[in-house]
């Protein structure tokens, strides 16, 4: 995925510190959370491509502010940051806990992945000068936002950069399951295909099927637009109704249980919180149609994975398309063996 990220480094001015955080954001109030925390200065290093700015110094101009980056990223934004900051990039693929705690020491900013747990221990290890944690993701369930707020640390994410890509993955998984595309591919590769037959791998068309979207954020909305254009009927569940969106795209609001009962496809587009963890479990899976599909491109723990495996085995539902898992480093063999699933390695956002 081609990502254009704007990492905002927000810093309070301590005594004897020279800060020039140009250019200011062009929007009226780009980071209200930071403003509420009392942060006065904003910088968007990627806002004006090709421009050079003076370094940000501290201690009377003796050293640059440090930014610790937990992963080697594609693109040039890290190189641009090096013009103004002391940027330390972890060179390996996965940073261990001890290396993370050591690496962040003395940092004013941290750029992290969703796979790194940025909690109170990490913030304390960084020190009192830590002022911003910028997450290379839309979600931020890996960051202890409550502790960050108490410590006056601004937390930013990257909303909007993968909206279309993830919605496309929802549609791709839906079509692949309904039309049995992966099954057909496996049949050909196995050498067992002996020629066309009229009833070979009969699938299901999506026209007039009901797409139930759980969470009407950016991804949920784009999924609704795409699926509606292909003739699907759209229903949704969200914390708050959006009557304007309902009218514009002819979608209807349902309670969560109603959505599960009526949908031919249930697509999860909610963040992982205490409230959404295992929001799809035994009761919810049994409410779904036996012909229905479950699509999860959000976060693995939103679904009770053990119960989903049982539901797929015992045919409570017809199939599942999963891009995320409860433990992405250890996807259970029982899930991998199920023929009525399509599993992808957290690549819903991976477009260029």
Q: Which residues are part of the catalytic machinery?
A: 299, 328, 346
Cβ atoms within 10 Å of 125's Cβ, excluding its own: 16
Cα torsion through 257, 258, 260, 262, rounded to 10: 160
- Two structure tokens written together for 329: 């480093």
Cα 209 to Cα 262: distance, rounded to the nearest angstrom:
10
> Where do the DSSP E strands lie in the chain?
57-58, 63-64, 66-69, 86-89, 109-112, 132-135, 154-156, 210-214, 233-237, 252-253, 265-268, 293-296, 319-322, 341-343
| DSSP codes joined into one string, 285-334 | HHHS-TT-EEEE-S-GGGB-HHHHHHHHHTTSSSEEEES--SSTT---HH
- Two structure tokens written together for 44: 């968007």
Cα 299 to Cα 78: distance, rounded to the nearest angstrom:
27
| DSSP codes joined into one string, 91-109 | -SSS--HHHHHHHTTT-SE
Cα-Cα-Cα-Cα dihedral sign, residues 148, 239, 319, 297: negative
């Amino acid at each position: 995925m081609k990502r254009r990220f704007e990492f905002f480094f927000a810093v309070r001015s301590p005594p004897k510190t020279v800060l020039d955080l140009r250019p200011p954001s062009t929007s009226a109030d780009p980071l209200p959370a930071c403003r509420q925390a009392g942060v006065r200065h904003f910088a968007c290093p990627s806002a004006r491509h090709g421009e050079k700015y003076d370094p940000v110094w501290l201690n009377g101009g003796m050293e640059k502010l440090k930014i610790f980056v937990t992963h080697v990223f594609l693109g040039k934004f890290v190189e641009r940051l090096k013009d103004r900051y002391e940027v330390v990039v972890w060179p390996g693929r996965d940073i261990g806990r001890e290396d993370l705690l050591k690496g962040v020491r003395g940092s004013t900013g941290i750029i992290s992945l969703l796979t790194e747990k940025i909690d109170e221990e990490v913030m304390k290890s960084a020190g009192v000068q830590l002022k911003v944690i910028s997450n290379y993701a839309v979600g931020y369930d890996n960051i202890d936002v409550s502790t960050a707020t108490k410590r006056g640390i601004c937390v930013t994410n990257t909303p909007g950069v993968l909206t279309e890509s993830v919605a496309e993955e929802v549609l791709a998984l839906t079509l692949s399951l309904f039309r049995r595309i992966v099954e057909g591919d496996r049949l050909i590769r196995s050498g067992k295909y002996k020629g066309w037959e009229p009833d070979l791998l009969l699938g299901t068309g999506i026209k007039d099927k009901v797409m139930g979207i759980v969470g009407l954020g950016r991804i949920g909305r784009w999924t609704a637009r795409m699926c509606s254009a292909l003739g699907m009927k759209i229903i949704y569940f969200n914390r708050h109704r959006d009557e304007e969106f309902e009218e514009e795209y002819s979608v209807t609001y349902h309670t969560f249980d109603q959505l599960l009962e009526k949908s031919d496809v249930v697509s999860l587009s909610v963040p992982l919180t205490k409230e959404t963890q295992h929001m799809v479990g035994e009761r919810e899976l049994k409410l779904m149609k036996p012909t229905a599909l479950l699509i999860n491109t959000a976060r693995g723990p939103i679904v009770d994975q053990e119960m989903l495996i049982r539901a797929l085995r015992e045919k409570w539902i017809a199939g599942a398309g999963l891009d995320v898992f409860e433990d992405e480093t250890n996807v259970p063999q029982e899930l991998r063996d199920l023929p009525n699933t399509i599993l992808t390695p957290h690549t819903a956002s991976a477009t260029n």
